[in-house]
Amino acid sequence: MLDNVSRRQFLGGAAATIAVTSLGALGFADVEAAHAAAIRPFKLAHTTETRNTCPYCAVACGIIMYAKPAAENGGKRSIMHIEGDPDHPTNRGTLCPKGAALLEFVRAPTRLAKPRYRAPGAKEWKEVSWDWALDRAARHLKDDRDKNLVTTNAAGVTVNRWLTTGFLAASASTNETGWITFKVVRGAGALAFDNQARV
Ligand code: SF4
């Protein structure tokens, strides 16, 4: 059949096709504009990125937390998205289901954001300041060490053992934090010392 189409007929048909296509293009532009107007802005636009570590387990995956500036969030800066850090050597951007749900953890209304204290014999917890809690912990540690430090063994050899207090360190710390923690705890003479990574 194509053999029967003359050159003139072919060009005429092509011109008609171009005209229809142009009209279609005009119509499509309207649709395209309407479609573009309906698309929400990229949700991470204008956010700041903060790197951190998932607090849940000893794998210590790297995360990126995205926060909206206060001016765009009713005057309060808040985290609105958390994902795995693709540059982190442990997880390379991946997160397990617990880590993937970290935003719910951050926003949980039951999450404790300040230390609490329950006095001996009391039934109620009361909120205290970080300074108060740290001072109290330091006071207990000092008093216990002063009272119970074993300076020499039965043979009179200096040992400086502190056996009445134990420490549990975090596994998600940096090497430097881990090194300092180890020096402080061992330097104080404590032998009962473990890490969340083994729990
Ligand atoms: S994302 Fe999962 S595997 Fe990684 S540290 Fe958090 S809980 Fe552990």
Q: What is the pLDDT of residue 13?
A: 53
Q: Is 178 helix (H, G, I), strand (E, B) or coil?
A: helix
Residue 1: pLDDT band with limits 50, 70, 90: very low
Instruction: Count the helix, strand and coil residues of the chain and give each as a percent rounded to the nearest 5.
Output: 40, 20, 40
User: How close is the Cα of 186 to the center of ligand 1, in Å?
Assistant: 29
User: What's the fold here for domain 48-107?
Assistant: N-terminal domain of TfIIb (2.20.25)
Mutate to test the pocket of ligand 1, among 61, 102, 104, 199 (most ligand atoms within 8 A of CB): 61
Each residue of 103-152: pLDDT tens digit?
Answer: 999 999 999 989 999 999 999 999 999 999 999 999 999 999 999 999 99
User: What pLDDT digit, counting tens, does each position of 22-56 carry?
Assistant: 555 666 778 888 888 888 878 888 899 999 999 88
For residue 84, how far is its CA from the centre of ligand 1 (angstroms)?
A: 10
Domain spans, the chain: 2-38, 48-107, 116-198
* Atom 1 of ligand 1, nearest CA residue: 99
* Helix (H) and strand (E) counts in the chain: 5, 9
Q: What is the 3-state secondary structure (H, E, C) of 113-177?
A: CCCEECCCCCCCCEECCHHHHHHHHHHHHHHHHHHHCEEECCCCCEEEEECCCCEEECCCCCHHH
Dump pLDDT digits (tens) for 59-103.
889 999 999 888 877 888 889 999 999 999 999 999 999 999 999
Q: How far apart are CA 134 and CA 144, in angstroms?
A: 15
